[in-house]
Structure 1
Amino acid sequence: MQMKRQYHHYRRRRQYQNSSPIAQRSLPPFIAAATTIIFCCILLLLVHAPAPVQMRRLQRCELVGELYILDVPKSELSLWLCIAEYESRYNTHVVGNRNADGSSDYGLFQISGRYWCQPDNGTKYYAFNECNVKCSALLQDDITVAVECARTIQRRQGWSAWSVYSLYCNRTLTEVDDCFE
């Protein structure tokens, strides 16, 4: 009889263990708390995450056309094209790595957030905002603001404001006439 009771007890316990879902099994408290915290963080990130940014990579002649429409002189188009190619590879939404002073460079022409635009996050390195724009405005698919700011920089500091100018763009440049055919 004793043996029969033990068998039934063992069988009931086994059935209970096999039929219970994992959620009903108890976890150590620290694992349960950690799991809850991780789940909540993931949920918050999903709810409050910004919409994905669609990066626009312009084609060479597409950029030439947009610059020309924005009244960049035809004689300067090759220079602007060279700067955009080496600074951002024609990508409108590029934010460069942090500079030594903590600032970043923004957009098609990699314009400095320390001097030329106001970073959105209120960082301490922000100093001047000479173009009177938010840095995020330099990351738009519409390149009008980026071109206006780049023209301001070029008028005040010349082409050498971009380090790529002396390295790559102060030599023989690719003509853009093929973009007007």
Structure 2
Amino acid sequence: MKKVIGILVGSLRKESFSKKIANTLVPMAPEGFEFKLVSLDGLPVYNQDFDDHNEVPEIYTTFRNEVKALDGVLFVTPEYNRSVPGVLKNALDVGSRPYGQSVWDGKPGAVFSNSPGNVSAFGANHHLRQSLVFLNVPTMQQPEVYLAKVNELFDENGELKAGTKQFLQGAIDAYIVWFKKNAA
């Protein structure tokens, strides 16, 4: 049975660099694995009243069930104001509730951050890791994946350049080895 790894993207923008990176990762899944994009589009901001008063939006239930069925998670994220984009933090919150029923629990993860700047979304990468510790998502430590000047990593056809693809393939290979050691 294939292991399904969800890819969550911290950007909603149509031409997002993070989305382009995520789409490049999908075919990198090795035999026995499937990489699946998990949409965060339209996910309402988390409000505990929905759970407390049994008024959970259908999209919350759909999202929670989709993540619960995953074996692992990859996060591909830009940085907004030196932190995690709101859409990604909201997805973590929606999936972590109601309390005691987190869909994230024990799913091996990895964080791939990117930025047009030199800092390569270091702040978002580490803020996301802080939340993942609380959510009990064991997160790959090495190799670290920071893609600086991401706007320069694509060719004239919008494809990631060979060197970057090679680097990402190495990170995926390391994640698969790490996943096998840490999967429940």
Output the TM-score relative to the length of structure 2: 0.27
Structure scoring higher RCO (CA < 8 A, sep ≥ 6) equals: 2
User: Higher strand fraction: Structure 1 or Structure 2?
Assistant: 2
Larger radius of gyration: 1
User: Higher helix fraction: Structure 1 or Structure 2?
Assistant: 1
